Chain A
Amino acid sequence: MSTVHTHVDTHVHDAHDHGPAKGWRRWVFATNHKDIGTMYLLFSLAMFFVGGVMALIIRAELFQPGLQLVDPMFFNSMTTMHALVMIFGAVMPAFVGLANWMIPLQIGAPDMALPRMNNFSFWILPFAFTLLLSTLFVEGGAPASGWTMYPPLSLQTGPAFPMSIFAIHLMGASSIMGAINVIVTIMNMRAPGMTLLKMPLFTWGWLITAYLIIAVMPVLAGAVTMLLTDHFFGTTFFSAAGGGDPVMYQHIFWFFGHPEVYIMILPAFGVISEIIPTFSRKRLFGYDAMVYAIASIAFLSFIVWAHHMFTVGMPLAGQMFFMLATMLIAVPTGVKVFNWAATMYKGSLTFEPPMLFALAFVFLFTIGGFSGLMLAIAPADFQYHDTYFVVAHFHYVLVPGAVFAIMAAVYFWLPKWTGRMYNMKLAKTHFWLSAIFVNVLFFPQHFLGLAGMPRRIPDYSTQFADWNMVSSIGAFGFGFAQILFLIVILQSIRGRSGVKATDKVWDDGMPQGLEWTLSSPPPYHSFEVAPEVK
């Protein structure tokens, strides 16, 4: 890589070759998609640990019945902040980071379409999370009304209230800009010959996700703005005293909230669809069906929101509609799971860390899908609503679902990013510890929920003691296993471990995407001349 560069100004994008700027300027003024992708990924890794510590505080308190460690208000703050940090700080930025790194490489573009907006959307995040996390230290403590912020409870939050709402506005702005960047990059910057239906599935998953983001993040912004004006400016959107309705908040929130859960899983589907063919040494089974399945799931996500609120007293016709529409999602999701299985059928499988995580994803995400189907049954949901069964369900789709997919993606592309193979043995240990403990952690929560244990409560009746103890042991096991993840990544970044990665990294035949035609690590500026796609 050339080191001859006299620019102080690193955002000049000329055709002539220049490497990264020196020192902090490289990062603060970053416009290079690889640098910004790296920052997103490291930021999300940091938030993953922050949110993880909060989860461990929750599980430590729930280790035994009774109140031992924290006061109930702080416990409620922990459940609220854990969710906000993990959703908006860990999972979403991790996928945006992967998008930044991989989409230009997969479609043969020199960079993201809007590099300066890219810089802006990343650098908003540290400020947003500083604001959000600083609420832990204000009078009255951090928001404690749950991440869904239902009024009227959320309106009783103290000085943390406007701070957390502005933090959400900032996160929303960041995701919207990130999504616009992804769409413009994919629509306008594909290499000649890279038609839409030749794009790798990770890129496809992200294109559809990006549209979901720009459709629903503004709706969340609107909902929290209404909360803000109800609190400070005397409007009564959600106050019955002034003719408003608190249930309406739930409708608006979940109109955002349900597509949001697909925002966190569609890119994961893309990642898995890249990894399984690679380690099965076969092409993906049913590529077109996979694309249409993602699109159908995205469409259905807009018409199922009220299944989160069956218990509000909805008319029977409404319950029937939302129940059946929700169950319909199982069809395209089933198409995907069966296509992954068919891809593996008669393949020559090997079990490197990314494949292990991808396989665990297929099994464990499907368990989360099944408990989702159970929750979709309106009459049964009256029993399950707000119990640990719901907690078990969404953690199955988010942890061994979205988070495992992110880990699979990192293990899949890390040698491409750093140019070195990582410590396979340590990564496999990380996988097995994670896969075992995640089940010890979340599977017993199904039993607790079916037995009637409510969520978001710091104390519980003694009948729930055994499974809570098991679940807490699983939580600490899972939490400490993630230190291995950190070690593998740091070793790989510092070049301490492993042999030099080849361009193809895994196998000469597969994978086949454009990113594998570049060197490992790829040059700082790649595809300055667009590749020709046959």
Chain B
Amino acid sequence: MTEERRNRHRSLVSRLWLFAAGFFAFGFALVPLYDVLCDVTGFGDRKKLAQASEVVEAPDENRLVTVEFVSTAPSYGAWEFRPQVSSLEVRPGKLYEAHFRATNLRAQPIVAQAVPSITPQQATRYFQKTECFCFTPQPFAGEESRDFVVRFIIDPRLPRNIDRLTLGYAMYDAPGSG
């Protein structure tokens, strides 16, 4: 192999390895990019879902929206977790509250983290919570039962075609606990 060919190989090979390394990094860059996309579009916006918002009440008396409540506890046998009512008829622009009851089925103390989601996802940015048990991890004693409250208001700018939305919570053991 001539020296010149060796150099050409070397430079192309290093550029190709760099290309591959770039795409390995790109795989990880998709993680923050995914969040940015959610922020920009408001789809399933996790910041919005996990922060209290300041709102002014301005009820829209001409409109009724149904809010349904669902709950899941993915690790079987660890939690019992239910909404007190399955749905509410609400007026956009007015503050409401809903109650959930969670029971730690295990004998050991554990820290719980509830993760909210809104369906349809386009409604996420119009669903504002002033208070929610999902904002912070919740410590439980063994076999303790607790009632939780969420206070929410629906932004009157909610698109007209949405007349029903679902607030879902999944109850997890907080990372690093238990």
Interface of A toward B, CB cutoff 8 Å: 13, 113-114, 152, 176, 180, 183-184, 187-188, 214-223, 226, 234, 236-237, 239-243, 245, 248, 251-252, 255, 313, 315
With A180-B16, A243-B46 given, is the CB distance from A188 to B8 under 8 Å?
Answer: yes
Question: Whose C-beta in chain B lies nearest to the C-beta of A219?
Answer: B27
24 example contacts (A-B, Cβ-Cβ < 8 A) are as follows A113-B9, A183-B16, A184-B12, A188-B5, A215-B23, A218-B27, A219-B23, A219-B27, A221-B27, A222-B24, A222-B25, A222-B28, A226-B31, A239-B175, A240-B170, A242-B113, A243-B46, A245-B44, A252-B27, A252-B30, A255-B27, A255-B30, A313-B120, A313-B121
Q: B34's contact among A114, A183, A251, by CB below 8 Å, is which? A: A251
Q: Is B21 an interface residue (CB 8 A)?
A: yes
Residues of A within 8 A of B16 (CB): 180, 183-184, 214
Q: Is B122 an interface residue (CB 8 A)?
A: yes
Q: A241's contact among B12, B27, B174, by CB below 8 Å, is which? A: B174
B3 to chain A, nearest CB (A): 14
A315 touches B121 (CB 8 A): yes
A13 touches B1 (CB 8 A): yes
B30 touches A241 (CB 8 A): no
Distance between Cα atoms of A473 and B36 in the complex (Å): 51
Interface of B toward A, CB cutoff 8 Å: 1, 5, 8-9, 12-13, 16-17, 19-21, 23-28, 30-31, 34, 41, 43-44, 46, 50, 74, 113, 115, 119-122, 170, 172-176
A183 touches B115 (CB 8 A): no
Distance between Cα atoms of A248 and B21 in the complex (Å): 21
B23 touches A223 (CB 8 A): no
Task: Given contacts A217-B20, A222-B28, A315-B121, list 18 more A-B pairs with CB under 8 A.
Answer: A183-B12, A188-B5, A188-B12, A214-B23, A215-B23, A216-B23, A219-B24, A219-B27, A221-B24, A222-B26, A234-B176, A241-B170, A242-B113, A245-B34, A245-B44, A248-B30, A251-B30, A252-B30
Residues of B within 8 A of A251 (CB): 30, 34
Distance between Cα atoms of A236 and B31 in the complex (Å): 11
A191 to chain B, nearest CB (A): 13
A388 to chain B, nearest CB (A): 29
Q: A218's contact among B20, B74, B115, B173, by CB below 8 Å, is which? A: B20
Residues of A within 8 A of B175 (CB): 234, 236, 239, 241-242
B121 touches A180 (CB 8 A): no
A168 to chain B, nearest CB (A): 13
A400 to chain B, nearest CB (A): 31
A415 to chain B, nearest CB (A): 31
Residues of A within 8 A of B121 (CB): 313, 315
Residues of A within 8 A of B26 (CB): 218-219, 222
A12 to chain B, nearest CB (A): 12
Distance between Cα atoms of A219 and B120 in the complex (Å): 30
B12 touches A187 (CB 8 A): yes
Residues of A within 8 A of B173 (CB): 241
Residues of A within 8 A of B25 (CB): 222
With A183-B16, A242-B175 given, is the CB distance from A248 to B34 under 8 Å?
Answer: yes
Residues of B within 8 A of A216 (CB): 23
Residues of A within 8 A of B50 (CB): 243
Residues of B within 8 A of A152 (CB): 74
Residues of A within 8 A of B176 (CB): 234
A188 to chain B, nearest CB (A): 5
Distance between Cα atoms of A255 and B50 in the complex (Å): 28
Residues of A within 8 A of B24 (CB): 218-219, 221-222
B20 touches A214 (CB 8 A): yes
Distance between Cα atoms of A313 and B44 in the complex (Å): 10
B22 to chain A, nearest CB (A): 8
Residues of A within 8 A of B31 (CB): 226, 237, 248
Distance between Cα atoms of A216 and B27 in the complex (Å): 9
A166 to chain B, nearest CB (A): 16
Residues of B within 8 A of A255 (CB): 27, 30
Question: Whose C-beta in chain A lies nearest to the C-beta of B170?
Answer: A240
A178 to chain B, nearest CB (A): 12
Residues of A within 8 A of B122 (CB): 315
Distance between Cα atoms of A221 and B31 in the complex (Å): 14
Question: Whose C-beta in chain B lies nearest to the C-beta of A185?
Answer: B9
Question: Whose C-beta in chain A lies nearest to the C-beta of B177?
Answer: A241
Residues of A within 8 A of B8 (CB): 188
Q: B172's contact among A183, A184, A240, by CB below 8 Å, is which? A: A240
B27 to chain A, nearest CB (A): 3
Question: Whose C-beta in chain B lies nearest to the C-beta of A180?
Answer: B16
Distance between Cα atoms of A234 and B175 in the complex (Å): 7
Residues of A within 8 A of B30 (CB): 248, 251-252, 255
Residues of A within 8 A of B17 (CB): 180
A188 touches B9 (CB 8 A): yes
B115 to chain A, nearest CB (A): 5
Distance between Cα atoms of A187 and B153 in the complex (Å): 62
Distance between Cα atoms of A16 and B50 in the complex (Å): 72
Distance between Cα atoms of A370 and B12 in the complex (Å): 39
Distance between Cα atoms of A241 and B77 in the complex (Å): 17
Question: Whose C-beta in chain B lies nearest to the C-beta of A236?
Answer: B175
Residues of A within 8 A of B27 (CB): 218-223, 252, 255
Most buried by B among A188, A241, A248, A315: A241
A170 to chain B, nearest CB (A): 15
Residues of B within 8 A of A176 (CB): 20
Distance between Cα atoms of A252 and B119 in the complex (Å): 23
